[in-house]
Amino acid sequence: MTIDRVALQASWNRTHGHLKAAREHLTGLPGIDLPATLEFLQHNELGLAFYCLIDLGDDLDPPLSFWQHLDQAAREMRLYSEALHKPHLTAADLCRRHLAAATEHE
pLDDT in tens, 64-74: 999 999 999 99
Q: Alpha-carbon distance 56 to 6, whole Å?
A: 32
Answer left, alpha or beta for residue 74, where phi above 0 means left and psi between -120 and 50 means alpha: alpha
pLDDT in tens, 6-55: 999 999 999 999 999 999 999 988 888 899 999 999 999 999 999 999 99
DSSP 72: H
What are the sequence ranges of the domains in the chain? Answer: 5-105
Q: Alpha-carbon distance 17 to 4, whole Å?
A: 20
